[in-house]
Amino acid sequence: MNSRRQSDEPAEHRRFAHYLQALQSVAAADEADLLAAVLRDEDTSMAVSAVSRHLDRRATELITDPAFTAWAQAMSRVIDQHDFLTTRLHEWRLLRTLALREPWAAEELTDASDWLQRTAVTTQIVTAPDVLRLLAERGRTRRVRNAAHHRLHHLKKPG
């Protein structure tokens, strides 16, 4: 019964699930090669989606780790032909900058995608009041502005 359901499932769905599973358990030394193999899939949209999920998962794990920089450089060489992935990795680099409270430019943040702004205000990655204040005032969407106001309010509350 299970094999029949699998055969009814479109091939790209099976490959997507296989890629996600492989990417979940890939050794760091093999990660770039596996990403390159996934991106050679004939279904580019599916491949980019699988790689995007992987980048999001790994970037979240490494966001404040010193290994992030080398990892991001290695990934950028693999994804450089895919605009969406390149943009997403750039945004993860900006989130890292914000998380580590390194210097950043207001325009980088106000010009960033809805995804980046939403991630900055709805996760615990970014806690800097100046970032949250800017997004509360100039976030792209009402959702971002409200979430930033909420986070600021909770930062101001004593322990």
Which residue did the predictor score with more confidence, 123 or 1? 123
Q: Which of 111, 114, 106, 156 is nearest to 134 (CA)?
A: 106
Q: Are 36 and 78 in contact (CB under 8 A)?
A: yes
The percent of residues above 70 in pLDDT, for the chain, comes to 94
Q: Where are the domains of the chain?
A: 1-96, 104-159
Residue-level pLDDT at 5: 57
Q: Which of 91, 17, 16 is nearest to 48 (CA)?
A: 16
Residue-level pLDDT at 156: 77
How far, in Å, CA of 103 to CA of 141, rounded?
A: 24
Structure tokens at 141: 């969407």
Helices marked H in 63-141 — which ranges? 68-79, 83-99, 106-110, 114-122, 129-138
pLDDT tier at 1, thresholds 50, 70, 90: very low
pLDDT tier at 158, thresholds 50, 70, 90: low
Task: Report the chain's mean pLDDT, rounded to a whole number.
Answer: 94
